[in-house]
Structure 1
Amino acid sequence: MRNLLWGLSVFALLLSCKNPKANIDTFSAITAMVDSVGAADMHSQESDQVKDDTPKPIGADELFDDFIFNYATDTLFQRQRTIFPLPYYNVDTPLKIEKKYWKHDPLFADQTCYTLLFDSEDDMDLVGDTALSSVQVEWIFLKTRMVKRYYFERSKGMWMLEAINLRKMEEETENENSSFVTFYTRFAVDSLYQREHICQPLQFVTVDPDDEFSILETTLDVDQWYVFRPALPVNKLSNINYGQRNEDGSSTKILKVNGISNGYSNIFYFRKKGREWELYKYEDTGI
């Protein structure tokens, strides 16, 4: 733009030297030309802005985990990939969130880790499935027994947030204390209760300290568990539902804790014996 203005000025100077009476008309013409260029430039910027606001498939859409990281960390991308007005169900009250009232939601990106829940080891293979078309991201609030669920759908190659649902957690009616969430809420904070609900011996899988490329499978007694145990999430759990089963009546639960950009990885295997849950296997294979 600056080079163009300089060139036009030189052109005007040459014309004015040949015909002094043409000064006013010449600079009027230049002003018109500059206005035209400015308008074209503004139109180009507006077109770019429209393009910025138009959702389009990207490489991250292939794998949901890649998409959700971009969605959680990029404010503009999040607005592009959210359908507005967004249906928001606050327990029994249906609402709509307009785009102008939307605030960036970091999901679990501002946490040090996130968690996943599975009923079986086979379901863990769904994490890398590129054929998924529907995924839900959840927050499970342990103390209030509330679940906040984000519904993502993939259409025309693009993942989009289509709705949010905040609801009360469904508990087992026969024996509320037998639900996994009720058990875990206490297990995570009560050391004595934890001791009573650890299988002895406890299966332990970790990286071989003498060879970081080898996996060591051994066992721990309950006292050794207290030496090796990591900090457990205590207020809320996240979950990404790729299509795995998460049934209230399941007698097994797997809690996977992944660090965010730090190589942390722990897996806790729980099972129900009678009406009591116990931790029977622990994996620490993080880098």
Structure 2
Amino acid sequence: MEKRTLILGIVMVLILTCCKDLKPQKSDDSTLDEDSLELADSLTGEESMDELISEAPMPVAAEELFDDFLFNFASNKRLQMERVKFPIIVSSEAKADTLDRKEWQMEHFFMHHGEYTLIFDSEAQMESVSDTSVNHAIVEKIFLDQGFVCQYQFDRKNGRWMLDRMNKQTMSHNPNASFLSFYRRFATDSVFRQQSLAQEIAFSGPDPDNDFEQMEGVITPDFWDAFAPELPHGTIYNIVYGHPHTHSNVKIFLLRGIANGMEVALTFRREHNEWKLTKLSE
């Protein structure tokens, strides 16, 4: 027992010595600002990141595409405070109110998630994401479980995107109401999801044997689980670019990764007032 204790004591000394040696040594010619170091130590990881991002100016080119602006707006606290039209109008179906600068809380939207969602009526409408002529956009924060939508209306005037107003509405009054009601159940109810699959689901995705080729085929409901992506639920997002027509019997539900290039599209069609999944593209 004494021999084992002695060995453990020696090991602990070695570990402590190694850890001490691994600590970075401050050089005499260090130019780090002591005040900056103290500030960084006092902030949490998230706050530190917000501070660092806020120090970086948004590239002028980010005003061209709404997505580029939005990512900066949702990440940069200083920019966000500059681009909200205070006092901002917050309207609902019952009343209208305002929020002033002191009441505003940083809105990160989906930036702290690995992905975000978009809803389109057609593949042609998807091109609006890269349309530099779009001067109006609405970011929708959709609370599926609570059944309401918070809309953030942005407009570009004189080359600058601004958040002009907010609107809160029940989900039943949203232009995508029918699809959202369907999707809420599709994402969480496995039995209902199986019933909402077309007999043949067109599939296209990367060829596992060739990174530069796509493979196409058909998925039957029996094999859906082997291909099914993980579906977000609870709170999802949508971005409306411009003023599109939204009454459509086709919906393309797009899952898009923020930093990893992932993109999955699920196409649904409504027939006889029932939505069915008809296509999966990866």
Q: Counterpart amino acid of 1:260?
A: I
Alignment of 1:1-287 (within 5 A): 58-170=60-172, 179-243=178-242, 245=244, 247=246, 249-284=247-282
Q: Tell me the SS of whatever aligns to 1:234.
A: coil
* Residue number in structure 1 paired with 2:49: none
SS at match of 2:192: helix
Question: What is the CA-CA distance between 1:56 and the residue it aligns to?
Answer: 9.2
| SS of 1:70 mapped into structure 2 | helix
For the residues of structure 2 that align with 1:66 and 1:242, how far apart are their CA atoms?
Answer: 13
Cα drift, residue 234 of structure 1:
1.2
The normalised TM-score by structure 1 is 0.74
Q: CA deviation at 1:89?
A: 1.4
State the Cα distance separating 1:171 from its structure 2 match. 5.3
Aligned mates of 1:56, 1:219 — CA distance in 2: 44
Query: Over residues 12-62 of structure 1, what are the superposed CA-to-partner deviations in whole Å (9 max), with x where a residue is unaligned?
Result: xxxxxxxxxxxxxxxxxxxxxxxxxxxxxxxxxxxxxxxx9xx99822101
> Would the aligned equivalents of 2:253 and 2:266 in 1 still touch at CA under 8 Å?
yes
Deviations 1:193-249 (A, max 9, x none): 1111111221111011121111111111212210111111111221110036353x4
Aligned letter for 2:256?
N
**Conservation of the 8 A alpha-carbon contact between 2:135 and 2:242:** no
Count of aligned residue pairs for this structure pair:
226
Deviation sequence 1:58-97 (CA, Å, 0-9, x none): 2210111110000000000101111111111144221111
**What's the secondary structure of 1:85's corresponding residue?**
strand
| Identity, % of aligned positions | 37
In the alignment, the residues of structure 1 paired with residue 245 and residue 232 of structure 2 have an alpha-carbon distance, to the nearest angstrom, of 19
| Other structure's SS at 2:153 match | strand
4+ long deviations beyond 4 Å: none
The structure with more radius of gyration: 1
Unaligned runs of 5+ in 1: 1-51, 173-177
Distance across 2 between alignment mates of 1:143 and 1:161: 26
Aligned residue type for 2:251: K
AA in 2 matched with 1:128:
S
1:151-187 per-residue CA deviation (whole Å, 9 max, x = no partner) reads 1010111101011111112359xxxxx9212211111
TM-score, length-normalised on structure 2? 0.75
